[in-house]
C-alpha cells in the first residue's frame, strides 16, 4: 500500500517542496541496484509543463523523463494524457479501481469538486466518488471513466456536450456524472471536444462536438460522386450509434477525427481530414473553390490491413500491425508520420526502423512507441521536449527516449497536446 502524502497531493503548481524536487532530480543519475529498481517502477513524464501536467511538483518544462510524484507503476493499471496545446492534465487508474489526476483544472477536468483557472495541481490527487473503474480516457478538457459494470462516467468541460449527460455547460462540471443511455461498454476514447464508446456488441456510440463530422453519424451519400454532406448536427449531448459499423474491436480519437479497428484488421475513419488524417487519399483543399473532404461518416483507410492497434493525433494517425511494425498517415509537417520525410501522406506509409512494437500513442504532432524489451521510441515535433531525448529538435524518424528497463509497457500523449507519459 502506498503511503499517502497529503501535504504534497494538492499543490498549486507555483511551488515545489524540496522532497518533490529531489525525486525529480533522480532521473539522470546512475542509481545503485535497489534504488534503480524502484525508479524503474515509477511513472515517467516529459515535455511541456505549463500546468504541472508532468506531475513532478513543478511547472518546469522537461526535455528528459522525470518521475510523477507518489505514483508507482506497480500499483497502476494505466495512465492517460489529456489537454490542448500547452495546457494539459493526466489521469492514473490505480489497481484498486480509483483514479488520480493532476495538471490543468480550469474546467474541472481533475474531477475533485473544484475548478480554477490559476490553481493547477502539480502532483496527483484523487478523482472524487469514483471506484470500480476499468479504463480511463482524457480529452482536451474533459475525462471519461469506464466502470466495471459497463457504464461510463464523465467530468470536465461540457460546452459541446462531450460529457454525454444530456446537457451543455459553459462552466465546469467538477464531479463525475453518468453518460446517459450507455451500458455494455468495453472501451472508451476522448477527442478534443468529443467522446466515443465501443460496446460489447461491436458497435460504436459517440457524443459531443460534431463540427468536423467527428461523431460519424451523418448518412453516407447514395453515390460516390455525390457531394459530401455537412454534419447533421453541430453537437450531440447524448450518445448515438455510428451507422453501419458492427464488427469493431478497437477505437481511437484524434483531436477532431476518429478511427475504428474492425475484426478483419481493416480500419475505418471519419471527421476532420484537413491533412489526410483519414487515410482515404483525399485531403481538404483551401482557397477559391475549396473542396471539403472532411468525412462525417466512416470511410476505409486505404493501403492498410492486419492492424492490431491505433492512435491518433491532431491531424495524423498511426497503426500497429500484427508483425509489430507501424504505418502512419496524415499531417507530416514536423515528421510526425515517421517516414523520414516532411511530406503529407493521404494514405498510410511504413515507419522504418521500428520492430517489436507493443504499444503506441500520439500527441498533437508527436508519437511514442514502446517496444517488447521496454525501450521507448519517439518522433515528430519536439519544441516542448515532448520527445524526451534531451533536445528541442524535431525528429522525422524514431529516436530512443527510455532505455530498456523491462517494466515500461504503456505510453500516452494528449491527441492535441505536447507532453508524454510512460508507465
- Does the structural domain 74-357+391-400 have CATH classification 3.20.190.10? no
283 versus 330: which is more confidently predicted?
A: 330
pLDDT band at 290 (very low <50, low <70, confident <90, very high): low
- pTM, rounded to two decimals: 0.90
Does residue 329 have a pLDDT over 80? yes
pLDDT band at 405 (very low <50, low <70, confident <90, very high): low
Distance between CA atoms of residues 83 and 91, nearest Å: 11
**What are 218-227's pLDDT values in tens digits?**
999 988 889 9
Closest Cα partner for 128 from 109, 142, 149? 109
Distance between CA atoms of residues 282 and 276, nearest Å: 6
Distance between CA atoms of residues 267 and 280, nearest Å: 11
pLDDT, residue 291, reads 63
Sheet holding 295-300, edge to edge: 248-253, 257-262, 267-271, 295-300
**What are 105-126's pLDDT values in tens digits?**
999 999 999 999 998 999 999 9
Domain ranges for the chain, please list them: 74-357+391-400
283 versus 171: which is more confidently predicted?
A: 171
Amino acid at each position: 500500500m502506498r503511503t499517502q502524502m497529503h501535504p504534497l497531493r494538492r499543490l498549486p503548481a507555483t511551488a515545489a517542496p524540496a522532497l518533490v524536487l529531489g525525486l525529480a532530480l533522480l532521473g539522470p543519475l546512475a542509481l545503485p541496484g535497489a534504488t534503480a529498481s524502484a525508479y524503474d517502477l515509477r511513472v515517467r513524464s516529459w515535455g511541456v509543463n505549463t500546468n504541472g501536467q508532468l506531475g513532478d511538483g513543478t511547472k518546469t518544462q522537461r526535455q528528459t523523463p522525470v518521475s510523477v510524484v507518489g505514483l508507482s507503476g506497480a500499483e497502476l493499471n494505466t495512465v492517460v494524457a489529456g489537454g490542448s496545446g500547452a495546457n494539459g492534465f493526466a489521469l492514473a487508474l490505480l489497481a484498486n479501481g480509483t483514479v488520480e489526476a493532476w495538471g490543468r483544472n480550469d474546467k474541472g477536468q481533475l474531477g475533485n469538486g473544484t475548478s480554477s483557472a490559476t490553481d493547477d495541481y502539480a502532483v496527483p490527487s484523487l478523482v472524487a466518488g469514483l471506484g470500480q473503474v476499468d479504463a480511463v480516457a482524457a480529452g482536451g478538457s474533459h475525462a471519461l471513466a469506464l466502470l466495471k459494470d459497463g457504464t461510463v462516467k464523465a467530468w470536465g468541460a461540457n460546452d459541446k456536450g462531450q460529457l454525454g449527460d444530456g446537457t451543455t455547460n459553459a462552466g465546469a462540471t467538477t464531479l463525475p456524472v453518468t453518460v446517459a443511455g450507455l451500458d455494455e461498454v468495453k472501451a472508451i476514447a476522448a477527442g478534443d471536444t468529443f467522446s466515443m464508446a465501443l460496446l460489447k456488441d461491436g458497435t460504436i456510440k459517440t457524443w459531443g462536438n460534431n463540427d468536423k463530422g467527428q461523431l460519424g453519424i451523418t448518412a453516407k451519400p447514395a453515390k460516390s460522386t455525390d457531394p459530401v454532406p455537412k454534419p447533421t448536427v453541430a453537437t450531440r449531448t447524448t450518445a448515438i450509434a455510428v451507422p453501419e459499423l458492427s464488427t469493431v474491436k478497437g477505437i481511437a480519437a484524434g483531436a477532431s477525427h476518429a478511427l475504428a479497428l474492425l475484426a478483419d484488421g481493416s480500419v475505418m475513419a471519419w471527421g476532420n481530414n484537413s491533412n489526410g488524417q483519414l487515410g482515404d487519399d483525399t485531403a481538404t483543399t483551401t482557397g477559391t473553390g475549396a473542396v471539403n473532404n472532411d468525412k462525417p461518416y466512416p470511410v476505409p483507410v486505404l493501403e492498410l490491413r492486419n492492424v492490431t492497434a491505433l492512435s491518433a493525433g491532431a491531424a495524423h494517425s498511426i497503426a500497429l500491425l500484427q508483425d509489430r511494425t507501424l504505418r502512419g498517415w496524415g499531417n507530416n509537417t514536423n515528421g510526425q508520420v515517421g517516414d523520414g520525410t516532411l511530406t503529407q501522406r493521404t494514405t498510410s506509409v511504413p515507419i522504418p526502423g521500428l520492430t517489436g512494437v507493443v504499444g503506441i500513442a500520439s500527441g498533437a504532432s508527436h508519437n511514442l512507441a514502446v517496444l517488447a524489451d521496454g525501450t521507448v521510441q519517439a518522433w515528430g515535433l519536439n519544441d516542448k521536449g515532448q520527445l524526451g531525448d534531451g533536445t528541442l529538435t524535431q525528429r522525422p524518424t524514431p529516436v530512443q527516449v527510455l532505455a530498456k528497463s523491462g517494466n515500461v509497457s504503456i505510453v500516452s500523449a494528449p491527441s492535441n497536446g505536447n507532453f508524454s507519459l510512460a508507465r
